[in-house]
Amino acid sequence: MDRVRVQAVTQFTLEDDVNIPENKPDVAALNLEKGELVIDEIRPGTDSVTVRGRLSFVALYHTMEEGSSLVVLEGRMPFEERINMQGVVPSDTVAVDGEVEDLSVNMINSRKLGIQSLITLTARVEELYDEEAPIAVHGDEKVEYRRMPLELAQIAIAKNDIFRLKEEVALPSNYPNIFQILWSNISLGDMEFKVMEEKLAISGDIHLFLLYEGEGEDHPCRSFETTIPFSGALECHGCREGMLPDIRYRLGQQELSVRPDLDGEERSVGLELVLDIAIRIYQEEKLEVISDLYGVTKEVSTVTHKADLRRLLSRVTGKTKVTDHVHVTDGTVLQLLHSEGSVALEQRSTVENGILLQGALQVRVMYVTGEDEAPYGSAQANIPYQYTLEVPDIAPEDMGEVRAEVEQLQVTMLDGEEMDVKAVLSFSTVVFKTIPVELISAVNVSELDSGKMSSLPGMVVYMVKDGDNLWNIGKKYYVPVDALRELNGLDSDELKAGQKLLIVKGS
């Protein structure tokens, strides 16, 4: 079995003022910004964990000075945060996921920017453990036992791995050569993981967007967008077809470089990506465990403990459409340059036969205005959504981790001041049903209590009551179930209230 032994979430704000380096021109207006959280050190203590890392940010702005009209500014903001985690000890392995919830870059003056970001850190200690359950009885003592059928999903493989991607993309012939890349956005879509013999097959799409200055006297600004399908496999010892994958992944290290083509011209873009993958693969099994037993010639008692077993409830995906209009407040839209979106999953709650998801689609758009003083503009919008991911028979304790992605995003101009946004959001999850059971962990055998046995009649006609069954009647009188069935000529174990049963001690 696997479980999260302890988990904690914390939020904090990073703020700083950043001066424009001397080698960069003045800021006339801001266009785009993005941030990535990098965790450098995780240091567990007693009931707490200290996380050290940095926020790497990139801002794109335009300037009115001669030369390049669009300028890229990069920087980093270090942090050290202490997270309270009751039960953590220094020897624990703590995993920490970080997310940039909100990033805003504001212009203080033409030589200084204000950076503010809301950071969420989720820390967890995951562990593997064995849950033991009896499946057979051996020994000389005569005992009666009954079995409980279970459909279970037990962990077969639990490990973290990386998958490297290397691709090269050539610009179309009608695009100018690349002078410098101003802005890039890389995302993954249509990711699929398939368990095969001794390996995990991986496939998906790389979505690449570039905003670059082209070669030439006027350094034309061009945007380029493409989708690159990829496939590959990771070695995964112990994998077999039919196993159940529950894979979490994130795009880690990204390297983008401009390369010369065969003619020596700067027209190729090289991508080197690292996919961080948390692999959890489960095996479904049907078992019969011994749920209870009693002695016939000896006193047999059981020691039990509570356990939460699991079975696969559902692997489910769902999609919903989001539409809205974005109004431009600064300038007039002459041409759209770039649009990008991300899904914020703000609330999850269990409803009848499903998971209710609520959040917002965060959209950023960059455009050309045609105005000399402010040639570029940007707009952003948070478009709310509500969607129920259908999961029949789900209970609150069964909820799995939900992954949300922007599958499609289309932004079109309606007029110079309004844009139409259409998007398809996709959600996926693997849900395991929690099965609370009492498992036998030990059996105690002792001699029968002579006083108790003498108080039981040698023969009795028993009147069946509501809730009675052959098992609890046999257990009460120390008589095997088969003997009760045979003595009373029963073809099944079904009993009705008022029915008479003959019980003979020692039969």
Residue whose C-alpha is closest to residue 26's, from 107, 127, 94: 107
Burial class (CB in 10 A: 0-12, 13-18, 19+), 149: exposed
Kindly state the average pLDDT of the residues 27-40: 91
Q: What is the pLDDT of residue 64?
A: 83
Indicate whether 450 pLDDT > 90: no
What are the two backbone dihedrals, phi and then psi, of residue 487, each rounded to the nearest 5 degrees? -65, -30
pLDDT class for 67, splitting at 50, 70, 90?
low
**Which strand (E) or helix (H) includes residue 450?**
helix 450-455
- In tens, the pLDDT along 454-485 reads 777 778 899 999 989 999 999 988 899 999 99
Q: What is the pLDDT of residue 402?
A: 92
Q: What is the pLDDT of residue 453?
A: 73
Residue whose C-alpha is closest to residue 33's, from 362, 331, 332, 345: 362
CA distance 121 to 37: 10
Q: What pTM did the predictor assign?
A: 0.85
Q: What is the pLDDT of residue 68?
A: 63
Indicate whether 84 pLDDT > 90: yes
- In tens, the pLDDT along 174-211 reads 999 999 999 999 999 889 999 999 999 999 999 999 99
The pLDDT > 70 percentage for the chain reads 99
Q: What is the pLDDT of residue 294?
A: 92
DSSP track, 329-349: -SS--SEEEEEEEEEEEEEEE
Least confident of 67-76, 262-271, 276-285: 67-76
Which residue in this structure is represented by tokens 């403990």?
305
pLDDT class for 241, splitting at 50, 70, 90?
very high
3-class secondary-structure state, position 475:
helix
Q: What is the pLDDT of residue 507?
A: 60
CA distance 179 to 304: 72
Mean pLDDT, the chain, as a whole number? 91
Least confident of 63-67, 114-118, 196-200, 313-317: 63-67
Q: Which residues contact 434 (CB under 8 A, 6 or more apart)?
A: 308, 309, 310, 395, 397, 398
Residue whose C-alpha is closest to residue 147's, from 302, 290, 303: 290
Domains of the chain: 1-129 (no CATH), 143-297 (no CATH), 313-433 (no CATH), 450-504 (3.10.350.10)
Burial class (CB in 10 A: 0-12, 13-18, 19+), 171: buried
Tokens of 83: 């997270």
Residue whose C-alpha is closest to residue 106's, from 69, 57, 54, 65: 57
Kindly state the average pLDDT of the residues 119-130: 94
Positive or negative: CA dihedral 240, 399, 124, 57? positive
Angle at 211 between CA 35 and CA 423, to 5 degrees: 70
Which residue in this structure is represented by tokens 């749920």?
291
